[in-house]
Amino acid sequence: MPKSKKSSNSSINLTEPQYYINRELSWLEFNNRVLHEACDPRTPLLERLKFLAIFSSNLDEFFMVRVAALKQQVEAKVTKLSPDGRTPQQQLDDIRLHLIPKVTQQHQHFEQSIRPLLANHGIHILNYINLNQKQRNYLDSYFEDQIFPVLTPLAVDPSHPFPYISNLSLNLAVVVKNPDTDEEFFARVKVPSVLPRFLPLPPELGIQLENGQPAHWTGVPLEQAIAHNLDSLFPGMNIQEYHPFRITRDADLTLEEDEADDLLLAIEQELRKRRIGGNPVRIEIQSQTPEPVRTRLLQDLELTENDVYEVDGLVGLRDLMYFMALPLPELKDPPRQSVVPMRLQRLREPSLDPDVLELDEGKDFFSVIREKDLFVHHPYQSFSATVVRFITHAAHDPNVLAIKMTLYRTSGDSPIVNALIAAAENGKQVSVLVELKARFDEENNIYWARRLERVGVHVVYGLVGLKTHCKTVMVVRREKDRMRRYVHIGTGNYNPKTARLYTDLGLFSCREELGADITDLFNFLTGYSRQKSYRELLVAPVNMRDRFLELIRREITNVQNGLTGRIVAKMNSLVDPQIITHLYEASRAGVQIDLIIRGICCLRPGLPELSENIRVISIIGRFLEHSRMYYFYNNGQEEIYIGSADWMSRNLDRRVEVITPIRDQDIAKDLQEILGIMLADNRQAWDLQGDGTYVQRRPGNDCPEANSQITLMNMSLRSTNVTTNLMDAKKSASVTDN
């Protein structure tokens, strides 16, 4: 029941800074939950190693984008405060204050806990100094044959300026002495990224298990093999010391789209700049690095002590992902086989003969969709047997005349792109919007755009000032005396690889309203249409923000009229101040609100007289919780939506996004059930506190609030194919904000 009802005309100013959590600190709290998975003994050992690597790779991107942007604001003397009232410099200071103990925790956990556990299970990451002579001889020979030819030592002196240090590169700062003059010199050796970070020893030279068999893996970090062979790089000099260090640079693209005559060319030019990298924003060094070397690095890189992150042990733990390739299933999550939805089992393949296609009584993909809308839930249900199959069928079906699609991210060997190429070669009209501005995927998308263009696909690169982030496909098919439009609207990228790791939703439909809306959307994306209204879809930046605000206000009105108000929303991030303000108003009116937010949440739940009726959880675990769902009780006439957009200003105002209502009642019940399972989670759910910290739920907790919430939403928690094994395959932390 609502805890209180306050008039929205009360004197509380809902925009005051104390009612908002800082965006950057909220993201750091998310990454803390990733680190917790690495420290949780319930997580299989190699999965714990994976989460350590994810924690590091997440931080790399955070520094390359978010910290770099804050530093630019400081340099530009920006005075605008964040919604929580912090200056850019205060945010940088708070980020560092938060990160120093967490980075220390990460490295201590690896060195003191994970590394010994790996050794107990036959995975020995040794230090070079602990090798026996036979092992050293092997690595020294390997160095001469495989590593030495790749290395380029760079001296630093008046005639050799400090070399450029590339982004995310691992390096050795080397001090050498001339034995004739006792003069010391400084040099830099880059650890080549073209070689594996960890060098395995042959089984016969590796550590032996108790049963006499060789260990699963024995080896050393690449930089140590280089460091102990520096004499080969500096013959005649005495090696005094060496110290690993790693640089992070500003890597966000700066693109003046309005001034670009050719967007593709402009992005290619910016990518070349990124390879060089922007200004340094962080240096990682070992804590025992002596002061003279440390000072030299900071001076030459134009960094300050506030940019230094000390580590004890290996520098650059993101490379630990290397060990996930070891064939040791007993140290990983149990394998999980995606299933094919019942309605799609035993479908016939499309015939190349249109007469046969029309006369054959067997079902094809399109006839299944004609029966009723089809819902898919990845990775529990196969992406390849649903989305890829749909596009492949369309590519080879002679009755299909056109395919239109948006591509934000896809895999390097994409079967979807291959299907689109086949469709074009089969004479179909194929139009694809490839978003060239998808961060850190720009180069991959340029490659696919050019490949598609070469076979006659109409490729569009997006809209000036907007990223096209929606996930939509439309197939136009001739059926007897009419044209029918089939659509797929999803929450995740058309990427078969991440579809096995990310939890996402998709809807297949041939409803006329959706087909007409998707047609209008593609006209907006490819032409000069400025569509202002849609029949069914919520489309950003056209009508989505206003529609979401209307849906929240409707729940407020219902409560004010003595009815029940209820909102449940699941997304990746909640940042937008206007949405947060409306949620506060709804809570004060008595609307019950549950938010399932994996990452950033700037709203403070549970504050007296403000957000007492708002609860926020985050779920972190095996799969990346990437789907977006929005539920509104609507006085019993429940409405539920899925799509590509989070409640962030960038999604609502600066991206093309699509949210679709779910009209099929069976699908709506399945979605409510999924929400109900998540609200009841007491294994991998974290409750957000009003101060911005999170508390993890534990098995055995009764979660009475969650149970009452499920009842209020009329969730029966039925056992359906949609949620089969959902609880034992739950959730995952991740790398890229999509």
Q: Choose among 668, 701, 665, 664: nearest CA to 686.
A: 701
Q: How far is CA 140 from the centre of its chain?
A: 40
Rounded Cα distance between 493 and 498, Å, is 8
Beta pairing class for 429-434 and 458-460: parallel
Q: What SS3 class is residue 285?
A: strand
Which residues, including other chains, have CB under 8 Å from residue 676's CB and lie 6 or more apart? Answer: 709, 710, 713, 715, 717
Beta pairing class for 280-286 and 308-311: parallel
Over the range 699-727, which residues count as b (16 or more CB within 10 Å of their CB) and which as e? Answer: eeeebeebeebbeebebeeeeeebbeebe
Q: Give the angle subtended at the CA of 331 by the CAs of 330 and 332, to the nearest 5°.
A: 95
Rounded Cα distance between 661 and 622, Å, is 28
Q: Give the angle subtended at the CA of 567 by the CAs of 562 and 569, to the nearest 5°.
A: 175
What residues form DSSP beta bridges with 594? 568, 615
Q: How far is CA 716 from the centre of its chain?
A: 32
Residue 469 among the catalytic residues? yes
DSSP conformational letter for 591: -
Catalytic residue from among 469, 488, 582, 626: 469
Q: Choose among 309, 193, 296, 189: nearest CA to 248.
A: 309
DSSP conformational letter for 604: -
Rounded Cα distance between 491 and 478, Å, is 28
Of the CA atoms within 13 Å of residue 133, those in its CB half-sphere come to 0
* Token output for 57: 């790779």
One-character DSSP codes across 36-82:
HHHH-TTS-HHHHHHHHHHHHHHHHHIIIIIIHHHHHHHHTT--PPP
Q: Choose among 456, 468, 42: nearest CA to 257.
A: 468
What's the length of the chain? 738
One-character DSSP codes across 489-516:
EESS-S-TTGGGTEEEEEEEE--HHHHH
Q: How far is CA 413 from CA 386, 409, 418, 495, 496, in A?
A: 18, 12, 8, 10, 9
Sign of CA pseudo-dihedral 177, 181, 185, 189: negative
Q: What SS3 class is residue 217?
A: strand
Of the CA atoms within 13 Å of residue 149, those in its CB half-sphere come to 4
313, 208, 326, 45: CA torsion to nearest 10? -60
Rounded Cα distance between 665 and 58, Å, is 39
* Token output for 388: 């890829």
Of the CA atoms within 13 Å of residue 287, those in its CB half-sphere come to 9
Which residues are known catalytic residues? 469
